[in-house]
């Protein structure tokens, strides 16, 4: 059976960066992705904080360039879904919906999936006004009033994007200030098309065929009000994607994989990179950095395993 030096699970910023570095280190690299390559970066309207990018690019263009670059160095990218990963002696068995694969190392770069608010109407109107992707669904709400839920970087970024399409944007945040980086928060606060309702949460999403209102509750006064809108964009964080890993992989209280500075998990040969791991700052640049470190250390691990380490 074919043995890959490294199987990278996930083709976002971390996975594609790991693929490029691993392939350049002459490893035999397979990248597995169940959705489109690019991960959360695909949702970025204007990637403007990646070092050296003088002109902002959209997430799709950037992800496509990363993929092409990794492939040019020899990485193979395959579309499949990973069901589980098991360590068997010195090898990893990666069970996918298309069969079993074998690798000497595995780099987990599966990122995180958006969270739901969990209120009545959210599931009912999903795809009919409730959305988790402004780039994908924003154009359907041109010149309409839309609501954005959340107060982090994603909510602020997406509110800015939506303000270019919608007639107006109302952000609903459960606290009295944003969690987002100051530069981004300031931009939102100075945007004339964005209004913020502080200290409030969405209790219900209402409508007939599609979204027509949200019911809001002020968390301090408990006052309840209704706000007419055509869409609700939810950006309240995300959960790391680790269901295919054995329970023995150590995680923190949020379910993010714990690694050391070499991106190694507690299982030798198993690495984690990007948003799926416990990290203080989740950015495209940090994910790409994680991927590079994971690939470099995986190559060293293989050398150790095979008695070829440079001493
Ligand atoms: P986040 O930083 O975890 O922020 C989530 C926001 O949603 C917080 O403001 C939180 O409120 C709120 N929230 C959480 N659960 C809620 C609930 N049940 N109901 C109402 N509100 C709720 O998540 P994120 O904004 O998706 O960002 C994730 C990571 O990606 C971060 O590390 C971020 O820096 C990074 N990112 C960076 C950029 C950029 O640099 N341009 C863009 C996007 C994302 P509290 O504040 O009260 O907790």
- Residue in this structure with the two tokens 């919608």, named with its chain if needed: 166
Average pLDDT, integer, range 260-278: 98
Could you write out the DSSP letters of every residue in 30-61? EEEESS-TTGGGGG-S-B--STT-SS-B-HHH
Per-residue pLDDT, averaged over 90-118, amounts to: 97
Cβ within 8 Å of residue 121, ≥6 positions away: 130, 204, 205, 206, 207, 211
Q: Read off the DSSP letter of residue 274.
A: G
286 C-beta closer than 6 A to ligand 1: no
Interval between CA 144 and ligand 1 midpoint (Å): 24
What's the pLDDT at 41?
Answer: 85
Q: Calculate the alpha carbon distances from 214 to 37, 127, 140, 149, 207 in Å.
A: 34, 16, 18, 11, 9
Question: Ligand 1: distance of its center to the CA of 52 in Å?
Answer: 26
Structural domains for the chain: 3-113+238-305 (3.50.50.60), 116-234 (3.50.50.60)
Residue of 51, 153, 199, 235 with the most ligand 1 atoms within 8 Å of its CB, for mutation: 153
Mean pLDDT of the region 200-213:
97
Write out pLDDT tens, residues 173-203.
999 999 999 999 999 999 999 999 999 999 9
For residue range 225-244, what is the model confidence (pLDDT) as tens digits? 999 999 999 999 999 999 99
What are 54-91's pLDDT values in tens digits?
998 998 999 999 999 999 999 999 999 999 999 999 99
Check whether 1 has a pLDDT greater than 90.
Answer: no
Q: Is 221 exposed, middle or buried (0-12, 13-18, 19+ CB in 10 A)?
A: exposed
304 pLDDT band, cuts 50/70/90, is very high
Number of CB atoms found within 10 A of residue 268's CB: 12
């Amino acid at each position: 059976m074919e043995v890959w030096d490294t199987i990278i699970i996930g083709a976002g910023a971390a996975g594609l960066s790991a693929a490029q570095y691993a392939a350049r280190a002459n490893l035999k690299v397979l990248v597995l992705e169940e959705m489109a390559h690019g991960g959360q970066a695909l949702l970025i309207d204007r990637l403007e904080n990646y070092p050296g990018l003088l002109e902002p690019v959209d997430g799709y263009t950037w992800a496509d360039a990363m993929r092409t670059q990794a492939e040019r160095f020899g990485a193979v990218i395959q579309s499949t879904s990973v069901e589980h990963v098991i360590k068997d002696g010195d090898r990893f068995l990666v069970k996918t919906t298309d069969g079993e694969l074998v690798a000497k190392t595995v780099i987990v770069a599966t990122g995180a999936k958006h969270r739901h608010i969990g209120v009545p109407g959210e599931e009912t109107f999903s795809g009919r006004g409730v959305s988790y992707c402004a780039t994908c669904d924003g154009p359907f709400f041109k010149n309409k009033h839309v609501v954005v839920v959340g107060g982090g970087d994603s909510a602020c970024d997406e509110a800015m994007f939506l303000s270019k399409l919608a007639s107006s944007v109302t952000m609903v945040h459960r606290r009295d200030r944003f969690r987002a980086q100051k530069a981004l928060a300031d931009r939102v606060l100075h945007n004339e098309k964005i209004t913020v309702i502080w200290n409030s949460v969405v209790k219900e999403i209402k409508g007939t065929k599609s979204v027509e209102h949200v019911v809001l509750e002020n968390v301090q006064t408990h006052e309840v009000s209704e706000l007419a809108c055509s869409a609700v964009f939810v950006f309240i964080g995300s959960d790391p994607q680790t269901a295919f890993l054995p329970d023995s992989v150590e995680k923190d209280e949020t379910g993010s994989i714990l690694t050391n500075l070499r991106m190694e998990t507690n299982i030798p040969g198993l690495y984690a990179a990007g948003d799926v791991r416990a990290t203080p700052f989740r950015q495209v640049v940090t994910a790409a950095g994680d991927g590079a470190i994971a690939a470099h250390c995986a190559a060293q691990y293989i050398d150790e395993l095979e008695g070829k380490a440079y001493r």
